[in-house]
Chains A and B, each alone.
Chain A
């Protein structure tokens, strides 16, 4: 049984309410930080914990905090990124919906550490009922004296508000999120300057994911050293994984980093194996933007070691055979899934969500979608696979924000690992007449029709 840090109290009846949350020891980290620690000491504990940003990039949170400009004399802000929109990822909603006070406690403790007096939770507009839950929880916390002027008689003031977006994946990118919070279109900004120097209203700002901020109370209460003992290597602590697709038990799980992928996939404590007991075909471990893994690379790395649920093991040390832990959006595919159709589905998503600011992304994502659609629908041309490869390679690394990379990586990985499936679509259009073409006849049964030399 994995240790629980974030979801430890999830089953306590009424834990959503301030009264129960407080009775269960909630807000202790605020008390400890404000009464017994300096802001720098709180930052130091987070650094020691090795906590890495849980939004997807995995940058060390304490280091990010230490970059905030304290010399400018400008107001500082903490902004919580609750714009969860990466396909496959739905963990932050779970945390906010069922443990709203945990996030608010984390926001207060973290804001104190950063010297921020005005902080925001930016939540995606579609999570409107969660927005209301957070609004009510903030009002409860304020009424109890954890927010407002002179918190716990310390002289520290903090106002915290929740702000809703309106349907734009790109606002999960921190500078686009800041633009959106300023009441503008969510167009990412060129960096530098980084938000730590010039963020919200040109003030020093830290943007952290929900899960990252919700981990701070435990670290402050128990110490960074204790947090670093959980997990393995540079993947310290626990991680929320949201699982979906063809598994028996989809949902949100808290795991200790270092668990094997095999145990997470197949034990009854977690996903319980494949839905309908069909063969496993592929896996995306970290949300739609990270590379897909074929069945033979899911449980073992290329070195033959057990693949672990860690930042390092899932990336295969940076080799093309690996993927990424990303946001922990774990999407599982059985043998009825069509990789070409799925890749087209992702390309449609990225085309739709491109803000249109950079030409490679604006034009390239649409081009990828168009080519993938014709392959999936039996009108593919022999040269289309190379064309896809060429387009994705010209988007990657050539845009202001990482959406370009997110759009190109799934295409590259799909071609790298499932090229024969693309060839099959192009060579046998009569066999892919409907969208469920692999349900009755999985690709493994027709694979012999194509060989790597055919195109």
Chain B
């Protein structure tokens, strides 16, 4: 049976809490729920890029809303991960313009090189390959998202370099 519940260590650091409060200040005091999406991004970035139920409950508590209000948002938007994922998630755009420029072949190449299927992390948990819908970089196709950044005009050589850079810890995932 597929595992559906995962746990993670929750660490709401003072820096993270300060950023969350700053985000909440962008909305009227009685509209704190409006900060939910940006706050979830911050919480996720600070917790290995995924959101356990417990972390979602914590966000609900901070924003003073019901847990279900967080669950229904987390399940709707594709950028929130509800299970542990590869540290380096290669999210290839698989929509029209990227396909015209060979994204499907590049995804096959990447999976073969890493020895994984789409949606499965590597055994060391370092990499995962996923196909996503349009990332709005059609003129720089084929491309993928890695953390907060785009890697564009991809070729097999560029993929090789990115994988090497990840293994050498040279890739910055978030712009903080």
**Contact residues of A with B, CB < 8 Å?**
84-90, 93, 118, 124-129, 132, 159, 161, 163-169, 180-186, 201, 242-246, 250-252, 288, 329, 331, 333, 337, 341-342, 345-346, 348-349, 352-353, 355, 435
Q: Which among A93, A125, A161, A244 is the interface contact of B97 at CB below 8 angstroms?
A: A244
Q: Which among B38, B63, B100 is the interface contact of A245 at CB below 8 angstroms?
A: B100
Please name the residue on chain B nearest to A166 by beta carbon.
Answer: B77
Q: Is the CB of A163 within 8 A of B37?
A: yes
Interface residues in B119-135 by Cβ distance below 8 A to A read: 132-135
Residues on A with beta carbons closer than 8 Å to the beta carbon of B73: 166, 183-185
Q: In the complex, A353→B78 CA distance in Å?
A: 10
Q: Is the CB of A242 within 8 A of B96?
A: no
Beyond A86-B134, A349-B133, whether A252 also contacts B38 by CB under 8 A is no
The 3 residue pairs across chains A and B that have the minimum distance between CB atoms = A166-B77, A244-B138, A183-B36
If over half of B's interface residues share one DSSP class (helix, strand or loop), that class is named, otherwise mixed; here it is mixed
Residues on B with beta carbons closer than 8 Å to the beta carbon of A185: 72-73, 76
Other A-B pairs, 14, CB within 8 Å; known A184-B33, A331-B96, A352-B133: A88-B134, A89-B136, A125-B37, A128-B174, A132-B148, A161-B27, A163-B38, A165-B77, A167-B78, A168-B77, A183-B33, A185-B73, A186-B77, A341-B99
Beyond A125-B41, A128-B148, whether A244 also contacts B33 by CB under 8 A is no
Residues on B with beta carbons closer than 8 Å to the beta carbon of A333: 100
* Distance between B70 CB and nearest chain A CB, rounded to angstroms: 9
* Distance between B115 CB and nearest chain A CB, rounded to angstroms: 22
Q: In the complex, A342→B69 CA distance in Å?
A: 37
Residues on B with beta carbons closer than 8 Å to the beta carbon of A183: 33-37, 63, 65, 69, 73
Residues on A with beta carbons closer than 8 Å to the beta carbon of B94: 345
- Does B141 count as interface, using CB distance less than 8 angstroms? yes
Q: In the complex, A88→B34 CA distance in Å?
A: 30
Residues on B with beta carbons closer than 8 Å to the beta carbon of A242: 138-139
Q: Which among B28, B135, B140 is the interface contact of A201 at CB below 8 angstroms?
A: B28
Q: Is the CB of A337 within 8 A of B137?
A: no
* Distance between A205 CB and nearest chain B CB, rounded to angstroms: 13
A-B contact pairs, 21 of them (CB 8 A): A84-B136, A88-B96, A125-B79, A126-B145, A127-B136, A129-B175, A161-B26, A165-B77, A184-B72, A186-B76, A201-B28, A244-B138, A245-B96, A246-B100, A331-B96, A341-B99, A342-B96, A342-B99, A342-B100, A345-B95, A349-B95
Q: Is the CB of A167 within 8 A of B148?
A: no
Q: Is the CB of B133 within 8 A of A126?
A: no
Q: In the complex, A117→B163 CA distance in Å?
A: 47
| Total residues of chain B contacting the partner, CB 8 A | 46
Residues on B with beta carbons closer than 8 Å to the beta carbon of A89: 136, 138
**B37-81 interface bits toward A, Cβ cutoff 8 Å, 1 = contact, 0 = none:** 110110000000000000000000001010001001100111110
Please name the residue on chain B nearest to A171 by beta carbon.
Answer: B77
User: Which of A161, A183, A246, A345 has the most chain B CB atoms inside 10 A of its CB?
Assistant: A183
* Distance between A331 CB and nearest chain B CB, rounded to angstroms: 6
Please name the residue on chain A nearest to B26 by beta carbon.
Answer: A161
User: Which of B40, B69, B79 has the most chain A CB atoms inside 10 A of its CB?
Assistant: B79
- Does B156 count as interface, using CB distance less than 8 angstroms? no
Q: Which among B37, B41, B99 is the interface contact of A180 at CB below 8 angstroms?
A: B37
Q: In the complex, A93→B140 CA distance in Å?
A: 12
Q: In the complex, A345→B33 CA distance in Å?
A: 35
Beyond A166-B78, A168-B78, A349-B133, whether A182 also contacts B34 by CB under 8 A is yes
Please name the residue on chain A nearest to B80 by beta carbon.
Answer: A166
- Does B149 count as interface, using CB distance less than 8 angstroms? yes
Q: Which among B72, B97, B136, B140 is the interface contact of A126 at CB below 8 angstroms?
A: B136
Please name the residue on chain B nearest to A336 by beta carbon.
Answer: B100
Q: Which among A168, A331, A348 is the interface contact of B76 at CB below 8 angstroms?
A: A168
Residues on A with beta carbons closer than 8 Å to the beta carbon of B78: 166-168
Residues on A with beta carbons closer than 8 Å to the beta carbon of B31: 182, 201
- Does B21 count as interface, using CB distance less than 8 angstroms? no
Interface residues in B123-176 by Cβ distance below 8 A to A read: 132-141, 145, 148-150, 174-175
* Distance between B65 CB and nearest chain A CB, rounded to angstroms: 8
Interface residues in B89-114 by Cβ distance below 8 A to A read: 94-97, 99-101, 104
Q: In the complex, A215→B60 CA distance in Å?
A: 40
Q: Is the CB of B95 within 8 A of A244?
A: no
Residues on B with beta carbons closer than 8 Å to the beta carbon of A127: 136
Q: Is the CB of A87 within 8 A of B37?
A: no
Please name the residue on chain B nearest to A184 by beta carbon.
Answer: B73
* Distance between B51 CB and nearest chain A CB, rounded to angstroms: 11
* Distance between B174 CB and nearest chain A CB, rounded to angstroms: 8
Residues on B with beta carbons closer than 8 Å to the beta carbon of A345: 94-96, 99
* Distance between A147 CB and nearest chain B CB, rounded to angstroms: 12
* Distance between B89 CB and nearest chain A CB, rounded to angstroms: 12
Residues on B with beta carbons closer than 8 Å to the beta carbon of A252: 139
Q: Is the CB of A166 within 8 A of B79?
A: yes
